Structure formats: structure tokens, C-alpha cells
């Protein structure tokens, strides 16, 4: 009889876990076996000499090895390496809530934004329901993790946006300029963001506009305070689309129904805006997108002069705003891609206080190009350069101050997948600002470890720089300045499925070189400034979202704890700043009633209060405003009007009529006091929105509308 050899051993993965059902065989023969539940295998063969042993299993790289067979037995243990699978791979996401990719922890989509009670269809209003973010009193801007409003930057299609909020006066709250349905994805980074972006000490809101529309459509919006309309035309060649819209707003009726408590109107807000966009496919994989927004608005109010009560100040504000963004992307080869962009913005605020001109203007032009290279399936790199030219002007009566900065930056960042369970992102950014005449280098590192099927741990470190704000640059020849600086350290754990998300994140920010003002800075337009400030912000954020437990319901809970102190501007010592609240809680609940095609929503917000200045208290910023409560309710009824998809919307902000006090303002000598509070205690909004489809597009999308109703 011919001699036989027994080949046996164990098949495991690189973590020594058994792999059952693996296929083990000698190449070119019928000799082999499958591994048992414990990973063991054994088979006999009559082959001799050099043979090729092959082991394979779905989801793992095949194993091959040349062995020498002699009579007797061989013991061969095999460790299979898991194949890289992009769909199942860990995602680097420390500090970022993303809504641009379903597998990357989608949080808020456009529909989430417009159906969140209290957000009033504002992107930033909806972001305030996420942990780490807050709005402060009547001020505009998004305040993130102890950072001031200027520390958050908005980016559209890779391009920085100046003045993303409507211009306003200190007594009137503002909202974002851009409508949520313009964008297919939103990334809200509360820290540790990509090296591709800079000039933001705390946070980045990254928005990507919609690509080619699916069909032609028109729509109208009707409400007691505004009227608007839009049209989108997609041409039959399926390669070109154009669209645009116009809106007119007049708050006179609103102000008559809800008169403000903190000032008197001279002229209510009146505004008009127009948007235009163009889409063109330049190849099978190339797309050119152009977007433009043009606005004009004005208002006038009479505000109390705290130092000379009962004297009042007459404030007039007229605003003109233009923003144009053009971007192009193309897949050059299987492993190379490119994205280029050009943007221009101009914002003019004509402001007078009792006839004294304090108007300002900024004019910005930006160009950027970015290349992507997939070196292997596990290693990719993107790098690029950008340049911005920004010109600032500030009026102070007959005086006119100007400053101009030419800013150039380069960045490179690589995503490295060590295994399906371990990934890293390593990047560096360098910037040169002509106005401070200095170069900075900012490294960024993020790591992610998959701790379970749907769970992972993320770590991030980064250095972040920002050029001082414009009003400190007008005298830079006399008072030289450098970049403000922050270091971020972040750690989080998240568990994400299609229907539930849980996330907890701890962070620490260390500030240095913050702008400080000398006590003799009597002229607010020519401050004596220096980079002598610093501070820290540390805290922990929790987030839980559930779309499964309650049928037809979607709710989320977020909580933030913040401990921060800083010395900057005119602060004489390191204290908790006026825009930092220690505790913030948000509860959002939405429920859809299918039998009446209606969704109701409620949002409850609790903020523990903000420090404010009281000259009668020897402790600087030693007083804290009362805790703030707010409950907003809304309802959306989906119906058809003359055969067109229609939404009837009703919202009620601060329905229980809570007192919303942000602090108190004192005169310089401490004798006069005014309450800093919301202009109106509660508001009600009603509107009707109608979407109109055409021809074949309408027939093809009837089912989509039915699905949307459901």
C-alpha cells in the first residue's frame, strides 16, 4: 500500500480566535478538509515532496505556504489575517458628528433640522441640540465647548464662509443665512477636526451642497411674515440643471403681535434675498457646482442707554451680502481624484448710533485645490493648498480703519487602516498670514479602535491656530500680534446601529496667546492689544438617540458638562467667560401619526446660567444668571394642495412662558441696571410650503412622495 501522511493543526485569526469552516487543501489535488468549530483540522494525503498548502475563508486573506511532505505526520497551525472591508472598517470620528454618510454615524439630516422644534429650520439652531454646542442670549454665532463665537468656522464645499449669520444688533437674536435643504451632508466637529481646515480654535461646521437634482420642481412658501418661491430645472440630457429662489420678509405684523420687552422698534426688520445655482456634469465622474446668495436687509430700533437712563439710543442697521461659491471635482484615475474651488463674499453693515457712523465691511476671496490618492486599499492621502485675501474696513465717525491679510495654507493628511478594527488619521497643516507675518505648523492625529461589532473608541490630538479678529488688526503696525492658539485632546466611546446611537466624549482644550486689552484701551476701535491671554476648557458630553424603541418615534438626549476659565480681552484675571454655562441639557422628541399624516415635535432645553459683570460685586464675573428653561412645540401636516406635495407647519417657542433671563447689564458706576433677556417671551409661527413637480418627473416621483408621507 502507498504511504500516507497526516496533516493537522489549528486555524485561527490573528487574535488566536478559532475560525470554523475554513477550507484547507493541497493545491492541485483533492486532498484537504474543513476546520472544525474549535478551529482544528486534519486530513491525509499520499502526496510527497514539495506541495503548496492553501487555506481560505470568506472575509480573510488567503494563506499559502510551500511545505515538504514525508511519511508520518505534519502539524501546521495557520493564522488568517482579516481582509480589509471598507464598509465594516472602523471610522475615525473623534470630535465629529457627521450626517453626510450613513455608515459614518449620521446624526442630523436636512429633514431632522426642519422638523426639530425650536430650531425654526435653522442649521445652527438644530446643532445647538447636540452636546458641546450652545447659543448665548441674543448674540449670534455658535459657541462650542467654552469657545467664543469667532472660534467656530463654517465651510461650504471646502471653502470658508465669512459672516454665516445674518447681521443684527446686540438686542436681536440672529440665525444662519443658509437653508438646510441646500446641503446633502453636515459634519459638526466639536474639536480635533481635519488638517484640511484651519483658522478655528474650537469647532468647524462643514456643509456639502447637493449634487445634481433628481427632477425638476417648483415651490412656494407662505407665512404671515414672509413669502418665497423657487424653481429647479433639470434638462433632458441629465447633465445640466439650474435653479434659484427669491424670498421677502417683513416682521411688522410679528412685532405688532409680539412687541419686544427690551427696546422699541423704529422700523421692523425688512429683508429680501435671492439664490441661484448651476450644476453641470463635466464627464462621467466630474461635476461643476456654482452657488450664489444675495441679500439686503434693514432695521431701526430705539434702545435704552444704560449709563444715561431714561435716555435712549437710535440704532440703524442696513446690510448687503453677496456670496458665490464654485467647486469642481473629478476622478482622474482609479486611485486619483481632484477637487478645486473658488469663492467670493462681501458683507457691508451700514450702522449708525444716534447718527454716529460705526459701519464696517469685509471683502474675501478664496481659492483652493485638493488631491486625493488611494495608495492602497488601506492607505489613502489627501493634500492641497489654499489662499485667501481678506480686506477689512471699520468706520468710527469720520475715521476709517483698514486692514488686509493674505493668508496661505498647505495641508496633508493620511488615513491608515491597520486592520478592520484599528485605524488612524495623521495630518499636518501649515499657515502663513501676511498681517502677522508668521508661519505656524499644526499637527493633527486621530486613532480609532473597534471594540465591538457596533462599538469603537476614538482618540484625537491637534494644534489649532487663528489670526486675531479684525478690530485688533487695524493697529497691528503699532501693537504687533501673533496667532491665537489652542491644543485639543479628545477621547470618546460610541455605539452606533441603524436605529440607536450612544456616545460619550471627554475633552481638554488648552488656550494660549489669546488677545488681551490694556486698561487704557478707551477707544473700542483702536484697542491697545497683545497676545498675553490663555486658559482652558474641559468637560464631558453625552448623546443618545433612539429611533427603534417607540414605533413612529425618534428622540435624542444630549448633556454637556463644562469647566472653563480664561483670561482674554479686558478680563483682569482668569475666570469663567460670559458665554460659558456649566450644564446644558437637550431633550428632543418627534412622533409621526400615520393616520393623520402629521408629525409633532417637542424640544426641551435647560442651561444652568451664564456669568455676567456686576460692578457692585468685587469678584469679576462673580454673578451667574438664573437657569434658563425652554420648551418648544411644533407640528407638520403633510397633505396635497391641487395635487402638489404640501406641508402645513405650526410652531410655538417657549410655550410655558418661562422667564428667559441671560443676565443683567449695569451702568459703569453700578447704579443703573437692565435685565438682559429675550426680546419676546414666546413666539408662534405658521406657514405653508408647496412643492410642485412637472411631467414625467412628477409621475416618476409619486411613489417617492408617498414614501415621504409614510
- In this prediction, residue 108 carries a pLDDT of 66
Which residue in 346, 166, 184 sits closest to 279, CA to CA? 184
What pLDDT is attached to residue 692? 75
Mean pLDDT to the nearest integer, 379-384: 92
pLDDT tens, residue by residue, 65-112:
999 988 788 999 999 987 655 444 445 556 555 433 334 444 567 777
% of the chain residues with pLDDT over 70: 92
Topology classification of domain 5-80: Immunoglobulin-like (2.60.40)
Q: What are 159-188's pLDDT values in tens digits? A: 999 999 999 887 777 889 988 888 886 788
CA 649/CA 119 separation, integer angstroms: 13
Q: How confident is the model at residue 700 (pLDDT cuts 50, 70, 90)?
A: very low
What confidence tier does 519 reach under pLDDT thresholds 50, 70, 90?
low
pLDDT exceeds 50 at position 520: yes
Q: Omega before 368 cis (within 30°)?
A: no
Instruction: Give me Rg for the CA atoms of the chain.
Output: 30
Query: What is 96-709's CATH number?
Result: 2.40.170.20
Position 539 scores a pLDDT of 96
| Residue 247 pLDDT > 60 | yes
pLDDT for 189: 86
Structure confidence at residue 528 (pLDDT): 79
Least confident of 370-379, 522-531, 673-682: 522-531
- For residue 691, what are the contacts with CB-CB under 8 A and spacing of at least 6? 217, 218, 219, 644, 645, 646
Q: pLDDT band at residue 654, thresholds of 50, 70 and 90?
A: very high
Residue 411 has pLDDT above 70, yes or no: yes
Q: Which long-range contacts (CB under 8 A, 24 or more apart) does 48-56 make?
A: 48/3, 48/5, 51/26, 51/27, 52/26, 52/27, 52/28, 53/7, 53/24, 53/25, 53/26, 53/27, 54/24, 54/25, 54/26, 54/27, 55/11, 55/22, 55/23, 55/24, 55/80, 56/22, 56/23
CA distance 57 to 34: 10
**Rounded Cα–Cα distance for residues 686 and 683 (Å):** 10
User: Where in the chain are the domains?
Assistant: 5-80, 96-709
The mean pLDDT value for 526-534 works out to: 84
Q: Greater confidence, 99 or 480? A: 480
pLDDT band (50, 70, 90) for residue 523: low
What pLDDT does residue 697 have?
45
Q: Which has the higher per-residue pLDDT, 637 or 135?
A: 637
Mind listing the pLDDT tens digit for each residue in 533-545? 999 999 999 999 9
CB atoms within 10 A of CB 367: 15
pLDDT over 70 (residue 572)? yes
How far apart (Å, rounded) are the C-alpha atoms in residues 565 and 535?
Answer: 6
Rounded Cα gap, residues 477 and 472, in angstroms: 11
Whole-number pLDDT of residue 701? 43
**pLDDT at residue number 77:** 94
Of residues 314 and 29, more confidence is placed in: 314
* pLDDT (average), residues 230-254: 92
Strands (E), 518-643: 529-546, 553-567, 583-593, 598-607, 611-612, 623-624, 628-641
For residue 106, the 8-state DSSP code is B
pLDDT for the residue 95: 56
CA distance 195 to 192: 9
| 248 pLDDT above the threshold of 70 | yes
- Are the C-beta atoms of 577 and 146 separated by less than 8 Å? yes
Q: How far is CA 327 from CA 291, 333, 344, 366, 367, in A?
A: 9, 19, 12, 12, 10
User: What pLDDT is recorded for position 171?
Assistant: 72
Phi-psi map region of 283: left, alpha, beta (phi>0 left; psi -120 to 50 alpha): beta
- Least confidently predicted of 135-139, 197-201, 614-618: 135-139
Least Cα distance to 130 among 111, 147, 148, 143 occurs for: 143
pLDDT(260) > 80: yes
pLDDT in tens, 193-221: 899 999 999 999 988 888 888 888 888 88
In the predicted model, what is the mean pLDDT of the chain?
87
- Work out the average pLDDT over 396-420: 91
Amino acid at each position: 500500500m502507498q504511504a500516507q501522511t497526516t496533516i493537522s493543526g489549528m486555524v485561527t485569526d490573528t487574535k488566536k480566535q478559532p475560525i470554523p469552516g475554513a477550507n484547507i487543501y493541497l493545491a492541485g489535488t483533492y486532498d484537504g478538509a474543513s476546520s472544525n468549530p474549535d478551529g482544528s483540522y486534519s486530513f491525509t494525503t499520499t502526496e510527497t515532496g514539495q506541495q503548496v498548502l492553501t487555506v481560505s475563508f470568506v472575509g480573510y486573506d488567503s494563506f499559502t505556504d510551500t511545505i515538504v511532505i514525508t511519511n508520518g505526520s505534519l502539524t501546521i497551525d495557520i493564522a488568517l489575517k482579516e481582509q480589509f472591508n471598507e464598509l465594516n472598517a472602523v471610522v475615525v470620528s473623534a470630535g465629529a458628528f457627521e450626517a453626510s454618510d450613513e455608515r459614518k454615524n449620521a446624526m442630523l439630516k436636512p429633514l431632522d433640522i426642519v422638523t426639530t422644534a425650536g430650531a425654526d429650520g435653522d442649521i445652527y439652531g438644530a446643532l445647538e441640540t447636540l452636546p458641546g454646542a450652545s447659543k448665548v442670549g441674543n448674540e449670534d454665532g455658535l459657541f462650542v465647548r467654552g469657545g467664543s463665537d469667532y472660534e467656530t468656522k463654517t465651510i461650504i464645499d471646502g471653502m470658508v464662509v465669512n459672516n454665516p449669520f445674518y447681521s443684527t444688533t446686540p438686542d436681536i437674536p440672529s440665525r444662519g443665512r443658509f437653508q438646510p435643504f441646500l446641503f446633502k451632508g453636515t459634519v459638526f466637529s466639536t474639536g480635533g477636526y481635519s488638517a484640511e481646515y484651519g483658522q478655528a480654535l474650537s469647532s468647524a461646521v462643514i456643509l456639502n451642497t447637493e449634487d445634481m437634482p433628481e427632477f425638476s420642481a417648483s415651490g412656494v412658501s407662505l407665512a404671515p411674515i414672509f413669502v418665497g418661491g423657487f424653481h429647479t430645472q433639470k434638462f433632458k440630457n441629465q447633465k445640466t440643471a439650474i435653479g434659484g429662489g427669491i424670498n421677502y420678509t417683513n416682521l411688522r405684523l410679528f412685532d405688532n403681535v409680539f412687541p419686544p420687552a427690551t427696546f422699541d422698534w423704529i422700523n421692523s426688520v425688512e429683508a429680501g434675498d435671492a439664490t441661484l445655482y448651476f450644476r453641470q456634469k463635466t464627464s462621467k465622474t466630474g461635476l461643476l457646482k456654482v452657488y450664489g446668495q444675495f441679500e439686503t436687509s434693514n432695521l431701526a430700533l430705539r434702545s435704552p442707554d444704560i449709563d444715561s437712563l431714561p435716555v435712549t439710543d437710535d440704532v440703524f442697521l442696513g446690510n448687503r451680502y453677496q456670496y458665490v461659491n464654485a467647486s469642481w471635482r473629478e476622478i482622474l484615475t482609479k486611485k486619483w481624484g481632484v477637487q478645486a474651488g473658488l469663492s467670493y463674499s462681501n458683507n457691508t453693515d451700514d450702522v449708525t448710533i444716534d447718527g454716529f457712523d460705526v459701519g464696517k465691511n469685509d471683502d474675501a476671496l478664496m481659492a483652493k485645490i485638493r488631491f486625493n490618492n488611494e495608495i492602497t486599499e488601506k492607505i489613502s492621502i489627501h493634500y492641497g493648498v489654499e489662499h485667501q485675501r481678506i480686506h477689512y474696513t471699520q468706520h468710527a465717525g469720520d475715521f476709517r480703519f483698514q486692514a488686509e491679510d493674505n493668508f496661505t495654507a498647505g495641508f496633508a493628511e493620511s488615513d491608515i487602516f491597520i486592520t478592520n478594527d484599528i485605524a488612524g488619521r495623521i495630518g499636518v497643516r501649515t499657515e502663513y498670514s501676511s498681517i502677522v507675518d508668521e508661519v505656524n505648523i499644526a499637527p493633527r492625529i486621530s486613532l480609532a479602535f473597534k471594540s465591538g461589532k457596533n462599538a469603537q473608541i476614538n482618540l484625537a490630538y491637534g494644534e489649532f491656530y487663528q489670526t486675531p479678529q479684525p478690530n485688533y488688526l487695524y493697529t497691528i503696525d503699532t501693537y504687533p500680534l501673533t496667532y491665537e492658539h489652542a491644543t485639543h485632546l479628545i477621547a470618546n466611546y460610541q455605539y452606533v446601529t441603524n436605529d440607536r446611537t450612544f456616545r460619550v466624549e471627554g475633552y481638554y482644550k488648552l488656550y494660549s496667546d489669546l488677545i488681551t486689552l490694556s486698561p487704557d484701551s478707551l477707544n473700542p476701535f483702536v484697542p491697545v492689544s497683545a497676545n498675553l491671554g490663555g486658559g482652558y476648557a474641559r468637560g464631558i458630553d453625552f448623546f443618545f438617540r433612539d429611533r427603534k424603541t417607540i414605533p413612529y418615534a425618534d428622540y435624542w438626549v444630549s448633556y454637556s458638562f463644562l469647566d472653563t476659565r480664561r483670561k482674554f480681552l479686558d478680563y483682569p484675571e482668569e475666570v469663567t467667560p460670559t458665554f460659558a454655562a456649566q450644564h446644558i441639557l437637550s431633550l428632543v422628541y418627534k412622533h409621526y401619526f400615520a393616520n393623520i399624516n402629521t408629525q409633532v415635535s417637542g424640544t426641551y432645553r435647560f442651561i444652568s446660567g451664564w456669568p455676567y459683570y456686576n460692578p457692585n460685586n468685587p469678584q469679576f464675573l462673580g454673578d451667574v444668571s438664573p437657569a434658563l428653561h425652554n420648551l418648544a412645540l411644533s407640528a407638520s401636516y403633510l397633505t396635497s394642495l391641487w395635487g402638489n406635495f404640501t406641508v402645513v407647519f405650526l410652531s410655538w417657542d417657549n410655550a410655558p412662558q418661562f422667564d428667559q433671563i441671560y443676565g443683567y447689564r449695569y451702568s459703569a458706576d453700578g447704579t443703573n441696571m437692565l435685565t438682559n433677556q429675550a426680546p419676546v417671551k414666546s413666539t408662534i409661527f405658521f406657514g405653508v410650503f408647496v412643492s410642485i413637480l412637472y411631467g414625467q418627473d412628477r409621475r416618476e416621483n409619486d411613489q417617492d412622495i408617498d414614501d415621504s408621507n409614510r
